[in-house]
Amino acid sequence: MSSTAQTGETRRDFLYIATGTVGAVGVASVVWPFVQQLAPDAGTRAAGAPIEIDLSQIQEGQSITLKWRGAPIFVRHRTAKEIEEARADDGKSMPDPKKDAERVGVFGGKAQEQWIVVQGSCTHLGCVPVKNSGDYNGWYCPCHGSHYDSAGRIRKGPAPKNLVLPEFTFLTATSVRITAMRSAA
């Protein structure tokens, strides 16, 4: 004990460091799969492939709800009056100020302002707002009282952001392809 202990580096020191290093790497590489298994699995991801929506079935003034990736998406066919009102409010103070024109998609170089496509989850805590209600003729969230207008902009209540626009593109004037959900932040 005494003679080897004084010579500085020993075989035990080497084993100690080598074991510790391999052990740490081993633990880290095992933690990774155990964390990753919590993420969406292959089946969930496959079921969440992009969808196409046929808009021709939606009447003017009608609002539909469809379920994609386990969550609702609202598609609303706005009337000329609703578009008018939403534009008129562009200058009003809002928690998440956006112009009405920024809330609509474009096809063939022309804004498709009659179509509003938004994720149907309240940006406060994720409840599903109720269509055609609230103080701004848009959506009203019954959970904590957030009011959205016909462009899905938050106007009143605790929600911090507008109803989120998913990633979507117009394939034709009456067909939309949704490729991804966006987060509110």
Catalytic site residues? 144
* Rounded distance between C-alpha atoms, residue 124 and residue 143, angstroms: 9
Bridge partners for 176 per DSSP: 53, 170
**What is the three-class DSSP state of 11?**
helix
User: Residue 69 corresponds to which tokens in the numbers above?
Assistant: 């990736």
Find the shortest distance in angstroms from Cβ 8 to another protein.
42
Contact call for residues 114 and 78 (beta carbons, < 8 A): yes
Q: To the nearest whole angstrom, how small is the minimum distance from the Cβ of residue 130 to another protein? A: 8
Contact residues for another protein, defined by CB under 8 A: 35, 38-41, 44, 48, 65, 67, 69-72, 120, 124-130, 141-145, 158, 160, 181, 183-185
Nearer to another protein, 5 or 35 (CB): 35
* Nearest approach, Cβ of residue 152 and another protein (Å): 16
Select 7 or 183, whichever has its Cβ closest to another protein.
183
Which pair of tokens denotes residue 157? 């209540």
